[in-house]
Structure 1
Amino acid sequence: MCGIRDVRDYRIHSDREKKIITGGSVFNIKAKSLRLGDFTKEETKILYQSHTEETGQIFAKGALDAVWELSEGQPWLVNALGYEVCYEMKANRDPSLVITPEMIYQAGENLIMRRETHIDQLADKLKEERVKRVICPMLLGADMEETRQDDIQYIIDLGLIKKSSSGLQISNIKYLMRYLNERNCRGAQGSV
């Protein structure tokens, strides 16, 4: 079973008591939380190559670079882009058709315009205060020393940010910027 959230982060809303009950149900038991890490560029290439081996459909020069640019290896995006471009875009279902970078970019736009569940869920998460406490300072270049580590880990688990050799950075900035503009951060950080 896989979800966008750890079981501990689910909340049950009580209509009778008009409050949020934390911790979920007694049946929500977990042994451990696992997060599938981002694919490397090479792993992304291998995954798409397996499609070529299975169907004969090839990817033009630059197509896999476009996949990487849009996904940065985020597992759901890597797979969603491949499925969209090869199966959902009817004109591309013919395996003799070469998949071009332009087709990959169109697949990315299609996912956004359809507000696919994963992207829509991430957009909804951007409204949460604990997400804003991390994302907004990052976007505004503000000091993050006071930021709670639990909040940072939560945002990493959602796939909105990632750790790099230079510190924390926004994941998939093109998707994030479609749903978050600077005005959303002003209230979280005060006047900018």
Structure 2
Amino acid sequence: MTKLQSPNFHVSKIRFVILNLLKSMTKKELKQFCIDAVTSQAAKQKPVIRQIKFLKTVKKGKVVIKNQSRGVAFDQFSEHQHALGALRVLNNNPETFGPEHRPIVEFAVDNVQTLILRKAKLQAQQQDASDDSNNAHQNAESHLISLTNPENRNLEMTKGQESIQSLKNPRWKTR
């Protein structure tokens, strides 16, 4: 309760946590369950799942068994209506995984500071990618301009001819 009163945390509208999952469940299976849950309520809807994360079994900082889930997953939709529909259909439903494994679904509590850091990293990556593409484009243009200039083209040819000549007549050749 104190976590919800803190300004550093908020309840996400598009991200929820699913508890009591099968240990052997994969991302594809969970994604299909969530999409089916949304389309069962509204057949015309096309839900988009942005992210699915499973909590893995960890011992001393290392994953013990590969792909061994703890039975907890986070699922993020692109729209609130899709997340709410999936939550309503999947929560405490015995038909989903069987009567022994009723999933518990609730909206996730997110740390605001980590969301801000994640957004800043994403913007930095996008900025770097756009800068790299701009630099590559500028380098290609400058190379084309230098090749179209007759003085630079002759200079490039003489350098190439010199390297070919050095291969034909190596200095280390014994007489």
TM-score (norm 2): 0.24
In terms of fraction of residues, the more strand-rich structure is 2
Point out which structure has higher relative CO (alpha carbons under 8 A, 6+ apart): 2
Q: Which has the larger radius of gyration?
A: 2
TM-score (norm 1): 0.22
